[in-house]
Amino acid sequence: MKASVVLYVIVGIIFAITSIVLGIENWTPEEKTLLLGLQRSTTIPKDQTNAVADNPKAAKLGHQLFFDKRFSESGEIACASCHVPDTYFSDAKQVSEGIGMTNRNAPTIVGATWNKWQFWDGRSDSLWSQALGPIENPSEHGFSRAAVAQIIFTHYKNEYETIFGSMPPLDDYFRFPDNASPLGDEDAKANWQHMTTSDQILVNRIFANVGKSIAAYERLIKPGESRADQYIQALRENRSTDKILKENEQAGMRLFIGKAKCVTCHSGSQLSDQQFHNTGVPMVADLPLDVGRSTVNPQVSSLEFGCAGIYSDNQKVCQTQPVNQGIQAMRAYKTPSLRNVAQTAPYMHAGQFKTLRAVLEHYNEAPKAPMGITEITGLGLNKNELNQLEAFLESLSAAPDSPDALLRNPAQ
Ligand code: HEC
Ligand code: HEC
Q: What gap in Å lies between CA 99 and CA 143, rounded to an integer?
A: 10
> Relative to the CA of 140, which ligand 1 atom is closest?
1
Q: What gap in Å lies between CA 69 and CA 145, rounded to an integer?
A: 15
Q: What gap in Å lies between CA 112 and CA 77, rounded to an integer?
A: 21
Q: What gap in Å lies between CA 306 and CA 299, rounded to an integer?
A: 9
Q: Whose CA is nearest to atom 25 of ligand 2?
A: 347
Is 77 close to ligand 1, i.e. is its CB under 6 Å away? yes
Is 94 close to ligand 1, i.e. is its CB under 6 Å away? no
| The dihedral sign for the CA sequence 132, 138, 142, 144 | positive
Provide the pLDDT for residue 321.
Answer: 76
> Relative to the CA of 381, which ligand 2 atom is closest?
38
pLDDT tens string 223-265: 999 999 999 999 999 999 999 999 999 999 999 999 999 999 9
Provide the pLDDT for residue 10.
Answer: 63
Q: Whose CA is nearest to atom 35 of ligand 1?
A: 131
Report the candidate in 114, 116, 110, 126 with the shortest Cα–Cα distance to residue 44: 114
> Omega before 169 cis (within 30°)?
no
CB atoms within 10 A of CB 354: 12
Q: Does residue 22 surpass a pLDDT of 50? A: no
pLDDT tens string 184-229: 899 999 999 999 999 999 999 999 999 999 999 999 999 999 999 9
Provide the pLDDT for residue 73.
Answer: 93
Contact between 13 and 20 under an 8 Å Cβ cutoff? The reply is no
Provide the pLDDT for residue 159.
Answer: 98
Q: What gap in Å lies between CA 350 and CA 94, rounded to an integer?
A: 6
Q: Which ligand is nearest to the CA of 379?
A: 2
Question: How far apart are the CA of 356 and the centre of ligand 2, in A?
Answer: 10
Report the candidate in 223, 222, 245 with the shortest Cα–Cα distance to residue 233: 245
pLDDT tens string 351-410: 999 999 999 999 999 999 999 999 999 999 999 999 999 999 999 999 999 999 999 999
Residue from 266, 278, 343, 349 to probe ligand 2 pocket by mutation (most atoms less than 8 Å from CB):
266
Q: What gap in Å lies between CA 245 and CA 251, rounded to an integer?
A: 9
Report the candidate in 145, 149, 116 with the shortest Cα–Cα distance to residue 133: 145
Question: How far apart are the CA of 376 and the centre of ligand 2, in A?
Answer: 10
Q: What gap in Å lies between CA 393 and CA 397, rounded to an integer?
A: 8
Is 82 close to ligand 1, i.e. is its CB under 6 Å away? yes
Q: Which ligand is nearest to the CA of 112?
A: 1
Provide the pLDDT for residue 12.
Answer: 54
The b-or-e profile of 82-98 (16+ CB within 10 A means b, else e) is bbebebbbbbebbbbbb
Q: Does residue 133 surpass a pLDDT of 70? A: yes
Is 104 close to ligand 1, i.e. is its CB under 6 Å away? yes
Q: What gap in Å lies between CA 156 and CA 160, rounded to an integer?
A: 6
Residues in the chain: 412
Q: What gap in Å lies between CA 230 and CA 244, rounded to an integer?
A: 7
Provide the pLDDT for residue 301.
Answer: 82
Q: What gap in Å lies between CA 303 and CA 309, rounded to an integer?
A: 6
Q: Whose CA is nearest to atom 18 of ligand 1?
A: 119
Q: Whose CA is nearest to atom 41 of ligand 2?
A: 262
pLDDT tens string 52-104: 999 999 999 999 999 999 999 999 999 999 999 999 999 999 999 999 999 99
Contact between 364 and 386 under an 8 Å Cβ cutoff? The reply is yes
Is 96 close to ligand 1, i.e. is its CB under 6 Å away? yes
Is 347 close to ligand 2, i.e. is its CB under 6 Å away? yes
Q: Does residue 23 surpass a pLDDT of 50? A: no
